[in-house]
Amino acid sequence: MNVICSTLNAKYIHTNLAIRYLKAFAAPEFNIQLKEYTIKDPAMNIVSDLYQQKPTIIGFSCYIWNIEETIKVVNMLKKIDPSIQIVLGGPEVTYDTVDWMEKLPSVDFIIIGEGEHSFKQLLTEMNGEGEYRNVHGIAYRENGKVRVTPQMNKLDLKELPSPYRFPEDVAHLGKRVTYIETSRGCPFNCQFCLSSIEIGVRYFDREKIKADIRYLMANGAKTIKFVDRTFNISRSYAMEMFRFLIDEHLPGTVFQFEITADIMRPEVIEFLNNEAPKGLFRFEIGVQSTNDYTNELVMRKQNFEKLTRTVTMVKDGGKIDQHLDLIAGLPEEDYSSFRKTFNDVFELRPEELQLGFLKMLRGTGLRLRAADHDYIYMDQSPYEILGNNVLPFNDILRIKQVEDVLEKYWNDHRMNHTIEYLVTKVFPSPFDFFQEFGSFWDDQGWSRIGHQLEDLFRRLYSFLESKSVSEIDIIAGLMKYDYLINHKYKPRKPWWEQSSNKQTRTEIYKQILENPSLLGQTYLDLALDEKDLYKHTMIEDLSFDLSAYLSTGSILRMPSSLLAYFDPANKGTIIFPVNI
């Protein structure tokens, strides 16, 4: 038999861990070929490539992000060669399995739940007697009827072979995200999440995991993401792994974790702040909502006060970037309540704030009880909500406008100083700024066209002008600072019209050349001659004292200037306040 395990990843940089577990578990009896594509690849290209491998069996790993494209591929393959046996598995088809079998006549088998043992059993029967009733946890057809077999007990994860050591993966480790699993299951019961369905948490063998991580790093892996649903549920386990990664990491490696912030003890954070190198770890934290009633309805236990303590301690440590998640559309969270949730979380100033929309996943309690809150949602994946009893579609559209500009203007960190000033000094709250700007952005049609960096600055300035915002000169100065400090090279044409005239700039340059100590020791260390000064710097007028702002955060209105030095070796830009 020629067996292929395949999937369509969301992006090229992603890798699929599931099909690697299937390949490792099936060996040595079966030699499985892995074939990964992306959802952006044309279906015909995928079909052509798979067909040319002359497969007997193709197994597809299915999720909400790839199921629709996977179905197109499967239907085309079956039309071309009906003898190819098609097997689906993964979270998207584990629930409503009979419906999937009836809906997809091109599919011969569906693996339900944990697939390593069941898939190997299925291959054995397909290669032998074909007694499919003996295979645990599958759906198949018998005499035109769909049959479903009972699932077996959960696997002993300590016995699973490593999925990380295939020679064909080595060349790609430095270019893609490597996903690693040290446990399965989740102790919590959040009703919007598939992880709530599996009771209990099981762990892989710790020493095997450490050996795999050493192997991955030695072979070039740069980004290793732990897919454990709650990495820190066991404090002793998390501490052991943190200690191991701190002690044995190789330069340039980054480890990402999903953590539950309100159960993380202060002593753990203090340990990380003291011991972890900056940039080694990255935390993803699901906040979802700060509405206590909403959290109660979805059986989500969360102490926002303790979560705030954790996020604040980590941020103050300056070692670990944090990505916080929100979900719009949870039960009884209307527009006003979500505004409060957003502002509560934005107050923590996470490096990234991801605003997502509730998806009614198959098998979850929230989908099963959708009628309780009058949910309407997409019939096809990703099953995103279109409204409920307190959040109509019009409010969802408004929140999507917030999401659009939040991603561009906060998560990409193109103008941190400007946004901080706007959300604290100009608009009633962070949410109000992003909402008003997002609505303006949408009204202008900008959500339907591309943009360059300069466009983002011009469009924000245009919005502020339309609002007749006071002290727009101060804001423009902060925007100029943000623009220049993030440039690696001297801009040919900045987004604003240069305000200082040539005579003024010449006078400032003259004074700097005569007395370079005016700009401090950092400038003196550059040892710029007249030619370099003119070639690699630019001067811009400001209406506030930049030196006072950078040292205290306060705005002191007075004419001043800035000098931006652009390192010719592209090592970054240095901004010097100029009060001459």
Q: Which pLDDT tens digit goes with each residue over 546-556?
A: 999 999 999 99
Average pLDDT taken over every residue of the chain: 95
Tokens representing 566 are: 């652009």
> Which pLDDT score, from 0 to 100, does residue 417 have?
97
Range 107-132 average pLDDT: 96
From residue 576, alpha-carbon distances to 151, 481, 569 in Å are: 67, 10, 19
Average pLDDT of the segment spanning 428-445 = 98
**Which H helix or E strand runs over 264?**
none
Per mean pLDDT, which range of 88-97, 355-364, 383-392, 449-458 is the poorest? 449-458
Q: Are 168 and 34 in contact (CB under 8 A)?
A: yes
What's the Cα-to-Cα distance from 252 to each of 246, 255, 317, rounded to whole Å? 12, 10, 20
Judge contact between 22 and 119, C-beta under 8 A: yes
Q: How confident is the model at residue 500 (pLDDT cuts 50, 70, 90)?
A: low
| 8-state DSSP, 411 | I
Mean pLDDT value of segment 71-94 = 98
Strand partners, 37: 8
Confidence (pLDDT) at 571 = 80
CA atoms within 13 Å, Cβ hemisphere of 233: 16
Write the secondary structure of 271-324 as one string of H (helix), E (strand) and C (coil).
HHHHHCCCCCEEEEEEEECCCHHHHHHCCCCCCHHHHHHHHHHHHHHCCCEEEE
Check pLDDT > 80 for residue 501: no
E strand or H helix at 472: helix 472-485
Q: Is the pLDDT of residue 436 over 80?
A: yes
Q: Which of 241-250, 266-275, 569-578 has the lowest mean pLDDT?
A: 569-578
In which band, very low, low, confident or very high, does the pLDDT at 489 lie, cut at 50, 70 and 90? confident
pLDDT band at 219 (very low <50, low <70, confident <90, very high): very high
Write out pLDDT tens, residues 504-546: 888 999 999 999 999 999 999 999 999 999 999 999 999 999 9
Confidence at residue 199, expressed as pLDDT on a 0 to 100 scale = 78
Read off the pLDDT of residues 373-387 as tens digits, 9 standing for 90 and up.
Answer: 999 999 999 999 999
Asked if pLDDT for residue 498 goes beyond 90, the answer is no
- ω into residue 167 within 30 of 0, thus cis? no
DSSP β-bridge partners for residue 385: 377
What is the band of 499 on the pLDDT scale with cuts at 50, 70, 90?
low
At residue 343, does pLDDT exceed 80? yes
Distances from the Cα of 89 to the Cα of 86, 177, 423, 521, angstroms: 10, 22, 46, 63
Look at residue 580 in the predicted model and tell me its pLDDT: 76
Q: Respond yes or no on whether the N-terminal peptide bond of residue 251 is cis (omega within 30° of 0).
A: no
pLDDT digits over 441-462, tens only? 999 999 999 899 999 999 999 9
Check residue 350 and give its pLDDT. Answer: 96
What is the Cα–Cα distance from 228 to 185, expressed in whole angstroms? 8
Provide the token pair at 248: 């044995």
Confidence of residue 19 (pLDDT cuts 50, 70, 90): very high
Confidence of residue 147 (pLDDT cuts 50, 70, 90): very high
* DSSP secondary structure string for all residues of 70-82: HHHHHHHHHHH-T
More confident residue, 500 or 341: 341
pLDDT digits over 413-424, tens only? 999 999 999 999
Q: What pLDDT is attached to residue 491?
A: 87
User: 35: which 2 tokens?
Assistant: 């074939």
Question: What is the three-class DSSP state of 378?
Answer: coil
Q: 517: helix, coil or strand?
A: helix
Average pLDDT rounded to a whole number, residues 147-153 = 95
Q: Which residue has the tokens 């067996």?
A: 3
